[in-house]
Each structure stands twice: as C-alpha cells, then as structure tokens.
Amino acid sequence: MRHQPVLVEEVIKIFSPGSNSTLLDATIGNGGHAAAYLQAAAHGRVVGLDVDPAALQDTRKNLGDLSRRVHLINTNFAYLNDALTGGGIIASAPLPTSGSFRLTGFDHILFDLGIGSHQLDNPARGFSFQTNGPLNMQFGPAESLPDAELISLNHLARRLRHFPSAHEIVHGLTESELSQVIRHYGEERLSGRIAAAIKTAHPSTTKDLSAVITDAVPLSYRRGRIHPATRTFQALRLAANRELESLTTALPQALHLLHHGGTLAVISFHSLEDRIVKNFFKEYAILTTKQTILTRKPIRAHEAEIAKNNRSRSAKLRAIKKT
C-alpha cells in the first residue's frame, strides 16, 4: 500500500520554502513529503535518500513530472555525508546549469523516521504481527551499518559475517542477550519472560512470534492499550536496522550539510527516537547560545489527521534552525 505521509502541512509550514529552495529528504519513502515540498517550491529541488531499494522503485513513479527535480540515492542516512560528497552532489561551488544537482548544501533537511506502509503492509518483509511472513524486518540489504549500542549484536554480526535479520537475532543470541535487546530497543518491562518463551518455542514467522509473546504475558497485559507484541517487534526492527545508531550518526552530518539559516526537521514515532532528537537539538542550542529550536514542544497531528491516518497519532515533529 502507498504510504500516507504524516504532518505534511506542518512540515511545509515550518520550512516555508522559497521558489528555488533545496531539500534533503533523508527518508524519501514513497515521496509524499517531497511532492508537497516541490509543489510549494516552484523551482525547488530535492535530493532523496532511502535505505530500501524497493521503496525507491515506487518513488519516481509516484512523483510523476515532479521527479525531474528529484535526485534519488539508495543509502542509509548514517552515511549521508559520504553519499553526497562521493556522489558529487555536494561541491564547493554549484554548477551554473539550473537543472544540476550540484549543491553547496541544503536549505531544508527532513527525517521522517522508521517504517512506511509500503514496508509494513508487505507480509514478505516480516515487519508486522498482523500478517504472516518470515522474520526478516530488514529495510534493505545492508553492506554496512553503524556499531550497535549492544555489544552482543556486534558480536553476532561478526560471527555471521553479515548484519543479522530479526530471525537471526532471535536465534543467534542467548536468552539473556535477547532479553536485553527487547528491553533496550523496545522498553519492554516483560523482556525476561518474553525472551525465555522465544528461546523455548523457536518461532520462525511473524505470526508464530506474536503468538509466543501473547502466550508469555499475563492476561492483564494482553488487554492493554497496545498489542503485547508491539514492543518486541519494535525492538527487533530497531536492532536489525540499527535505527537509533543510524539516527545518532546522521544528525550532526545533517546539520553540517544545512545552509546557515536553514531548517532541520525530524518526525519521530516513539520515545527512543524522540529522546535522541530532543537531546541533540538541546546540545546544539546550548553550543550556539542562540534561540535555534523552533519547536519548544513537539508538533503533534490534529484530531482530523489522526481520524484519517492512525499512524499520525504517535508522530512528533521537532525542528531546529542552523545559526
């Protein structure tokens, strides 16, 4: 299913692009935000990154005529500096031709984090406990990823000689290592009993895993606000893609690539991501001793958007101006 972007009006308002503005969309996905930006900036240009080659295949098609003003790169945003300088996008002086994608930096940079419907709704990708599929959860074939915060994941990757899928994490770690992953990346307080149940049952599909987790937790927990497997699935996805580590690595690079006076905006979907963004912005504001944070409190979706797109319920938009 085509991804329905969140907080589009709010992002465009905070950027308020001029006619020739440039955007680095670090997570272009299906191109919803990029399209809105190009519509607002009549001669604007977008460089769009995505780690998922399958997502990029649809992006150009979705953008139609607007895609003439878009340059797409398949990379993890953890390596955005290398991808842009190595790919010749960032140069010390722009070429005189107006259609060129040689830039000295960007006016605006957007991160719309996490997973898109184009990934979640495809059972073969193994991201969802609502459908059955293999326990994969990888955004793309990873040749390189930043070091994981948990040493056990780094050891596992070294042992396997590749970055592990969710299935390999579940089966390759010991029970206590798995419990630590589920607690660390999922903030799951029942991580111990969930890890024990997983190591006993050896689930190999999303439905198996979801059933094992549901059986492992008490009845009261099953009746909670969220599905009992939500936090464990989040933990495995974050661990498989090193999402938090990639974000931590990318934010300073993004700030560096922004023109002075430019805006960096991040949409996050859970507290672990939001904490990284909030702390990064705070540190920058202290360092520059200027009022650079544009969102004292994160911007949230209005009721009308939430009614149309449930995913927007947990979205938080924060933005900072480079001074």
Ligand X SMILES: C[S@@+](CC[C@H](N)C(=O)[O-])C[C@H]1O[C@@H](n2cnc3c(N)ncnc32)[C@H](O)[C@@H]1O
Residues near ligand X, by CB under 6 A: 3, 5, 27-33, 49-52, 55, 76-78, 112, 114, 116, 139, 243, 246
Question: What whole-number distance in Å separates Cα of residue 267 and Cα of residue 274?
Answer: 8
CB 43 → ligand X: shortest distance, Å?
A: 21
Closer residue to ligand X, CB minimum distance, 195 or 250: 250
Question: What whole-number distance in Å separates Cα of residue 295 and Cα of residue 197?
Answer: 42
CA 147 from centre of chain: 17
Closer residue to ligand X, CB minimum distance, 139 or 281: 139
Q: In the structure, how many helices (H) and strands (E) does the chain have?
A: 15, 6
CB 65 → ligand X: shortest distance, Å?
A: 17
Q: What does the chain come to in residues? A: 323
Strands (E), 66-217: 70-74, 106-112
Closer residue to ligand X, CB minimum distance, 30 or 128: 30
Closer residue to ligand X, CB minimum distance, 106 or 139: 139
CB 242 → ligand X: shortest distance, Å?
A: 8
Task: Please give the DSSP secondary-structure letter assigned to residue 205.
Answer: B
Closer residue to ligand X, CB minimum distance, 46 or 178: 46
CA distances (Å), 123 to each of 129, 167, 205, in order? 9, 15, 10
Query: With left for phi above 0 and alpha for psi between -120 and 50, is residue 305 left, alpha or beta?
Result: alpha
CB 207 → ligand X: shortest distance, Å?
A: 23
CB 114 → ligand X: shortest distance, Å?
A: 5
Q: What is the largest CA-CA distance in the chain?
A: 66
Burial of 122 (0-12, 13-18, 19+ CB in 10 A): middle
Closer residue to ligand X, CB minimum distance, 28 or 251: 28
CB 25 → ligand X: shortest distance, Å?
A: 7
